[in-house]
């Protein structure tokens, strides 16, 4: 359980950064915001698809995956995610260890893919354990597009759309 303690500590840090980061003056967000502003007349057109949560082994923690497709000529950013089921944070995976990030870029005419082994949502302090066949509702908060709701289907623990 050492890893879990580290994760919780990391999330506590991420939480305070997220609050302090409203002005977006960190490296990544200021850079991509500048990029987005340079073509501020171009609007993102976002669509969420393929959202799922693998049925978790633990009662209070799960991962979430989805794809945000952007058909617009303007980039956007996923800046936070909320859900009634618990706390949601954004994680990247590098060298098989995950770390909290403050935002994910949604490129213009491109897609943000949250998938196994890569970027993902971390659902914690769950009020109940998601069961196969249920749906988990999340609200995705974007810098430009505002809040977009998504339903994540609870799938089998080993579900991976890439291999199916
Ligand atoms: Cu994670």
Query: Strand (E) positions, 83-130?
Result: 87-94, 97-101, 104-106, 110-114, 120-124
Helices and strands in the chain, H and E counts: 2, 10
Domain residue spans in the chain? 1-41, 46-158
State pLDDT tens for residues 48-75. Answer: 999 999 999 989 999 999 999 999 999 9
Task: Measure 59 CA to ligand 1 centroid, in angstroms.
Answer: 15
Residue list, CB under 5 A from ion ligand 1: 91, 98, 122
Q: Give the pTM.
A: 0.74
| Range 128-138 average pLDDT | 97
The per-residue pLDDT of the chain, averaged, comes to 83
Q: How far apart are the CA of 58 and the centre of ligand 1, in A?
A: 13
How sure is the predictor about 79, in pLDDT bands with cuts at 50, 70 and 90? very high
Domain at 46-158: CATH architecture: Sandwich (2.60)
Q: What is the chain's percent helix, strand, coil content, to nearest 5? A: 25, 45, 35
Confidence band, pLDDT 50/70/90 cuts, at residue 5: low
């Amino acid at each position: 359980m050492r890893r879990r303690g580290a994760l919780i500590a990391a999330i506590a840090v991420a939480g305070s950064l997220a609050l302090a980061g409203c002005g977006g003056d960190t490296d990544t967000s200021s850079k991509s915001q500048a990029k987005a502003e340079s073509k501020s007349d171009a609007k993102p057109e976002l669509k969420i698809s393929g959202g799922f949560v693998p049925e978790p082994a633990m009662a209070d923690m799960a991962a979430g995956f989805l794809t945000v497709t952007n058909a617009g000529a303007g980039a956007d950013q996923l800046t936070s995610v909320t859900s009634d089921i618990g706390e949601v944070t954004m994680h990247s995976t590098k060298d098989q260890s995950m770390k909290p990030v403050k935002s994910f870029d949604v490129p213009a005419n491109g897609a943000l893919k949250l998938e196994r082994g890569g970027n993902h949502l971390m659902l914690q302090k769950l009020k109940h354990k998601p069961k196969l066949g249920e749906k988990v509702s999340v609200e995705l908060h974007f810098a430009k597009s505002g809040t977009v709701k998504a339903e994540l289907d609870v799938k089998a623990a080993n579900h991976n759309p890439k291999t199916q």
